[in-house]
């Protein structure tokens, strides 16, 4: 019995020592938000979720879609004359007046800085003709992104019957919008000088997203608030090659929620060389001095992924190739996929050269096989 106790004590000590050197997973943070999602746009993984699939009002984070449509329209440089109908809207404003003229992109920039409902309305009427038609454009784009539980009614996010989304859907929208360079540059700026064409003037707008000052890794995106929706925030951050999108809906302490969630998320990320375990493969060769040519990855590919992410390796090679084959010649590619999302595509190249098999037949044999192929077959 004494020996058993001694062995158990030794075993427990060894276990504790082992646990002390294993990396500890960060504990999930407590957040004030009613709904929250932390999303990895590279892999499509949800790293944190709280009521993330419940449809809720999302206030002015709606303007992410409005700005995205403006930047994607191909009409960014077109001048827009502001009408009384455009500015006849309640709530926050970027100070537009009937008769002002500025480009569509300038309106989008000012709208995202000041969260101007007048700017959102101007974009909607300019691109859609009327609010209903623009809402249809918003919903069509949402469907393309995969926002299955989202329905847009207003371009600004003012409360309206049926206007709602989920934290998860808004994360998809945030990730999609940040892929647009003009959008990302706008929302990542703490203040912008917006030029008016008429009357000629420059107006400075401050970004409402205080997370840009509070969190060094923050790269955007948009705040929102109505009494019905509460405080809403969609934000993005990058660190050491990893990118995350965070969404909170109805969050009394949203700044701290996002900081805590980002810290939690980045603690789950780690750099990984995708090509590290690639095993050389081969492609059959027709008419060459060798029957197959080995091929391997042309270059190294790496990504920052959450721990335990399962990476799928998909090979794309021809069934065969005709000689000659030159060393270094691209024969196909390997695709690395996580959760159905492509992380990288790496060319596969021939490791060695395979010359054409020399023809050693005599002239008589060639003549005979050409004119009497039935004899050659014997």
| Of the candidates 64, 118, 75, the residue with the CA atom closest to the CA atom of residue 96 | 118
Tally of CA atoms within 13 A in the half-sphere of 93 that contains its CB: 10
Residues in the chain: 378
Pairing of strands 302-306, 312-316: unpaired
User: What's the rounded Cα separation, in Å, for the pair 119 and 377?
Assistant: 81
User: What's the rounded Cα separation, in Å, for the pair 161 and 152?
Assistant: 10
Does 115 qualify as catalytic in the annotation? yes
Listing DSSP states for 74-88 in one string gives S-TTSEEE--HHHH-
CB 152 within 8 A of CB 135: yes
Does 63 qualify as catalytic in the annotation? yes
User: What's the rounded Cα separation, in Å, for the pair 85 and 306?
Assistant: 48
Tell me which of 43, 63, 156, 304 is the catalytic residue: 63
Tell me which of 60, 93, 235, 304 is the catalytic residue: 60
Phi, psi angles (nearest 5°) of residue 335: -110, 135
Tell me which of 43, 92, 93, 115 is the catalytic residue: 115
| Residues tagged active-site | 60, 63, 115
């Amino acid at each position: 019995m004494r020996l058993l106790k001694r062995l158990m004590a030794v075993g427990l000590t060894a276990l504790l020592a082992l646990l002390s050197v294993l990396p500890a997973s960060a504990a999930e943070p407590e957040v004030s938000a009613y709904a929250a999602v932390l999303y990895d746009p590279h892999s499509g993984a949800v790293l944190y979720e709280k009521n993330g699939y419940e449809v809720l009002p999302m206030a002015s984070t709606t303007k992410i879609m409005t700005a995205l449509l403006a930047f994607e329209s191909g009409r960014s440089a077109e001048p827009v004359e502001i009408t009384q109908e455009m500015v006849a809207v309640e709530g926050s404003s970027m100070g537009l007046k009937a008769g002002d003229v500025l480009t569509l992109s300038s309106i989008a920039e000012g709208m995202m800085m000041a969260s101007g409902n007048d700017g959102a309305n101007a974009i909607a009427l300019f691109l859609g003709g009327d609010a209903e038609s623009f809402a249809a454009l918003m919903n069509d784009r949402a469907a393309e992104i995969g926002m299955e539980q989202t329905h847009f009614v207003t371009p600004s996010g003012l409360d309206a019957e049926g206007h709602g989304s989920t934290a998860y859907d808004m994360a998809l929208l945030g990730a999609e919008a940040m892929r647009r360079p003009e959008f990302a540059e706008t929302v990542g700026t703490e203040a912008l000088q917006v030029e008016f064409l008429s009357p000629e003037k420059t107006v400075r707008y401050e970004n409402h997203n205080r997370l840009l000052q509070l969190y060094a890794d923050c790269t955007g995106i948009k705040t929102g608030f109505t009494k019905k929706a509460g405080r809403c925030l969609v934000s993005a951050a990058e660190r050491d090659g990893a990118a995350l999108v965070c969404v909170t809906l109805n969050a009394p302490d949203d700044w701290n929620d996002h900081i805590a969630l980002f810290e939690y998320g980045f603690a789950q990320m780690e750099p990984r060389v995708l090509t590290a375990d690639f095993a050389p493969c081969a492609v059959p060769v027709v008419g060459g001095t060798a029957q197959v040519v080995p091929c391997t990855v042309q270059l190294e590919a790496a990504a920052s992924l959450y721990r335990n992410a399962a990476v799928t390796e998909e090979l794309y090679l021809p069934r065969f190739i005709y000689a000659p084959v030159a060393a270094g010649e691209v024969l196909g590619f390997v695709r690395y996929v996580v959760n159905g999302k492509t992380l990288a595509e790496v060319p596969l190249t021939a490791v060695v050269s395979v010359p054409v098999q020399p023809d050693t037949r005599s002239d008589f044999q060639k003549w005979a096989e050409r004119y009497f192929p039935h004899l050659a077959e014997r």
